[in-house]
Amino acid sequence: MKRALVILLIAQISLGVLYSFATPVFEASDEVWHFPVVREIAANQRLPVQDISAEQPWAQEGSQPPLYYLTAAGLTGWIDTADYEQVALRNPFPKIGVPGATDNVNLMAHPAGQSPAQGGTVLAVYLIRWLSILLGTATVYLTWRLASGAVPDRPAVALLAAALVAFNPMVLFISASVNNDNLLMLLATLALVLLARDVESEARGMRWRATVVLGIVLGAAALTKVSGLVLLPVAALALTLEALRTRDWRTWLGRGLLLLALVVAISGWWYVRNLMLYGEATGMERMVAIAGARPAGFGLADLRAEWKSFWYSFWGLFGAFNVLAGSWFYTLMGALSLIGAAGLLLAIARLIRNRTLPQLWRTHALLATFLVLTALGLLRWTSMTPASQGRLMFSGIAAIALYLAIGLLAWFPRRWQIWFSRGSSVALALVAAIVPFTVLLPAYRPAPPIAALPEDAVVLNHTCG
């Protein structure tokens, strides 16, 4: 099984590099705003300060916690990005947020032959993209670890869960871009692995060291994205479940205080800075003011209207929320999702019928809680500003993939499951490999020049600009 995992990880890295070259610079989701945060840190050794009265190159992304950007700046700080304005040359007529647009899907005007070999801003962007791919690779590996721990007697589940993360085209697209979601995916999955191991462990001697490691990871997640704070109540639940089992409430209190102290020590300064600059700890109100607030009255009708684009953007809605894959792709992913969801319900029904709790039920309680809280957080965020995008659930991608894998495999006898898992992994990889050639490259290919104007063309003699 480990050999299959190694092959899967190599395939994920290879596909990530392919996606990075298939997507022109600053055409990935919000990359045009994430990179200027990195550049501000690298060039001026300071964090952005949000000003709603001025147009700033980082727009709303300047409100994000800085760990990903600090890491990226450390990687690319030696590169001269003085050519940024020439690289970030805007298309004046982009069709942003128009899924299926047939023209002007590009945010930027790209010169021919743009590549990292030219150095400057383009090289910096590609280096950060490749760093993000490696973060994605680590997330895939940790997904395998999480699934192996949650269902230890079923290696087919772990392999399929890892493949569902590795070969999700939208995950690959984000992983091959400058985007802080990549670090949050890694840290959230690592935190879930640590919490699951801790809540099921009988070895008390390791608890305090595990608490220190977990506190560092939770603090880093809170310093990567505000949604990383969702992990804190999940950690509190894990400590409580352990205390209910051991009846050791003194350790529960001590470990809880240690976790809180570490999180505050690592990330607290950022939230204090926000409080001092903007009068609010998270900076979300300032972020909404820049991104644009949703009109009042958000409700079920809005959720229904935006569900389709939310679901599309979980599997593959590329560019500036405007580049769709073919209908065959969404049909395939829809069938996969429905079969997996029905299979998960079937697996739950079997447990109810047999009147048994799932093996390692505490782990599943933590994962379910994390997914519910993440979904509620996204619901709250999209009620403030239009943000109904499936990719914003990617902090929980490992848990989602785990349960989708369980559901898909529920339809097969145990002896067939490993073969289905391997076959499905190959099929998912092939689909992911097709997308750059059939979707991304054609979307950004320049229109061919025409030899001459049509005979019936009307000359207007107008001067633009």
Average confidence score pLDDT of the chain: 95
For residue 27, pLDDT beyond 60: yes
Among 276-290, 299-313, 405-419, 442-456, the range scoring the smallest mean pLDDT is: 442-456
When pLDDT is cut at 50, 70 and 90, the band that residue 4 belongs to is very high
Q: What is the pLDDT of residue 205?
A: 54
Among left, alpha and beta (phi > 0; psi -120 to 50; other), residue 62 is alpha
Structure confidence at residue 100 as a pLDDT band (50, 70, 90): confident
pLDDT given for residue 200 in this prediction: 87
Amino acid residing at 405: A
pLDDT band at 168 (very low <50, low <70, confident <90, very high): very high
Q: What percent of the chain has pLDDT over 90?
A: 85
Confidence of residue 203 (pLDDT cuts 50, 70, 90): low
Q: What confidence tier does 451 reach under pLDDT thresholds 50, 70, 90? A: confident
- Phi first, then psi, for residue 108 (nearest 5°) are -115, 160
Of 177, 181, 175, the C-alpha closest to 225 is: 181
Are 171 and 165 spatial neighbours (Cβ–Cβ below 8 Å)? yes
- Partners of 318 in beta bridges: 323
Q: Assign residue 247 a region (left: φ > 0; alpha: ψ between -120 and 50; beta: otherwise).
A: left
pLDDT of amino acid 204: 62
Residues 188-200, mean pLDDT to the nearest whole number: 96
Q: Tell me which H or E stretch contains 323.
A: strand 323-324
H or E, element range at 317: strand 317-318
The predicted model gives 126-148 an average pLDDT of: 99
How far, in Å, CA of 284 to CA of 291, rounded? 10
Residue percentage of the chain with pLDDT more than 70: 98
Residue 298 has pLDDT above 90, yes or no: no
Residues 6+ apart with CB under 8 A from 219: 262, 263, 264, 265, 266, 267
Taking residue 24's Cβ as centre, other Cβ atoms within 10 Å add up to: 20
3-state secondary structure at position 114? coil
Domain range summary for the chain, segments of one domain joined by + = 2-443
What is the predicted pLDDT for the residue at 1? 64
**What pLDDT sits at residue 463?**
66
Is residue 448 over pLDDT 90? Answer: no
Q: Is the pTM of this model over 0.85?
A: yes
| Residue bearing the bigger pLDDT, 247 or 297 | 247
What Cα–Cα distance (Å) separates residue 345 from each residue in 163, 363, 408? 21, 18, 11
Question: What's the pLDDT band for 461 if we cut at 50, 70, 90?
Answer: confident
Q: Which residues make Cβ contacts (< 8 Å) with residue 392, sequence separation at least 6?
A: 181, 227, 378, 381
pLDDT at 97: 87
**Whole-angstrom distance, CA of residue 251 vs CA of residue 184:** 29
CA separation for the pair 174, 431 (Å, rounded): 17
pLDDT digits 0-9 by tens, 267-287: 999 999 999 999 999 999 999
* Whole-angstrom distance, CA of residue 32 vs CA of residue 46: 19
- Dihedral pair phi/psi, residue 38, rounded to 5°: -60, -45
> Could you give the 3-state DSSP secondary structure of residue 289?
helix
